Structure 1
């Protein structure tokens, strides 16, 4: 199969196509992300070969790339904003060197760096949901974030991101992260004792695209547990999850958490092909009615 777009997410769809057509092996040709695809292919008990197409159209077998990115430390200057974020009521997150604040899984502020004439860029906190919202917030309120401004944003977002709430732009973004937040609060819903959010194997490109997210915890049996949260039918969620387990804790149990309607046979079949087993948890916490709502 030749991948022509969304190369990094191409393994799952290619495998589904192969299985649907009764294939017993699969050759994938791609111009981009061949090393990542080769690594992810190694998690499956299925004959998969990945080939890299060079700019001169020569084709060579892909070499599997290491899965874990080098740890990017958060600077002391960035870390100094953590107490400010907590004081607003937001949760502090650290992903791939970025310090941010989330409310029910939605980023509402982020530490960014201003280019200066010195060797060290200046750190400051921007308020807003995504790049454009942060820029708009600065135009209206200035470049210096205040605790009062951030608290107002936190309260507004929290009022919209509750289970069973009517659709609103603030609860339609990052729904997989909202599901993770609700599940971490109620880990028993997926047979876990505890869960806490952890960074995905690769950084997110933006806030608007749906990308699975991860949590690490302890199952009721006492084993380490890596949970993958997704919303919608994602053909590549299984390879993403296997890759995440390898990066976070390669000895952990792997569980895929999504609304029951999103656990379809084609996705379940891919999970059955993993060398190290995984299980599914149909979780409808997003649809739960909120007490006191009219």
Structure 2
């Protein structure tokens, strides 16, 4: 896969991992100093269904930040973030989504987490020509 390669069916698989890869390469997009991919909360059942792709980074004040990358409307993003909070003990959570996927219903669901959570719409590598 590469930027501008078109919409071949294989290029549409695991886009949340592609998004995480882009953010790990440039964590400043999220206002973080560093970002490292971590294992997901659950094993991915297949390549077609969405599965949140997590990472851990360091914020500007040294806080531990859990980044959860997702694409589309993924009903598992809230439960995955909740499970990852138990494992990773972050100070805050950033859910990174393509801008078009930031929806009020997702924001309301994520607001129920016990850790401060923000949703950020980011540019995706596959949208760049």
Same fold (TM over 0.5): yes
Structure 1: 5+ residue stretches without partners: 1-160, 290-294
The answer as to 2:98 corresponding to 1:262 is no
Shift of 1:252: 3.1
Shift of 1:235: 2.8
Q: What is the alpha-carbon root mean square deviation over aligned residues?
A: 1.5
Residue by residue, what CA displacement relative to the aligned partner does 1:215-243 show, whole Å, maximum 9, x if unpaired?
Answer: 11112232111110100012331221121
Between the aligned partners of 1:222 and 1:204, the Cα distance in structure 2 is 31
What CA distance in whole angstroms lies between the structure 2 residues aligned with 1:222 and 1:253?
Answer: 11
Paired residues in the alignment total 128
The equivalent residue for 1:168 is 8
Structure 1 residues 84-163: aligned runs within 5 Å: 161-163=1-3
Distance in 1 (alpha carbons) for counterparts of 2:90 and 2:23: 22
> In the alignment, which of 223, 227, 240 is matched to residue 63 of structure 2?
223
| Cα distance in 1 between the residues matched to 2:4 and 2:63 | 32
Partner of residue 75, structure 2: 235
CA offset digits 1:17-62 (Å, max 9, x no partner): xxxxxxxxxxxxxxxxxxxxxxxxxxxxxxxxxxxxxxxxxxxxxx
For 2:3 and 2:48, the matched residues in 1 are separated by: 20
Alpha-carbon distance in structure 2 between the residues aligned to 1:288 and 1:207: 23
After TM superposition, give the deviation of residue 164 of structure 1 in Å: 3.5
Equivalent-residue separation in structure 1 for 2:21 and 2:28 (angstroms): 13
Task: Tell me what 1:185 maps to.
Answer: 25
Q: TM-score, normalised by structure 1?
A: 0.41
Unaligned runs of 5+ in 2: none
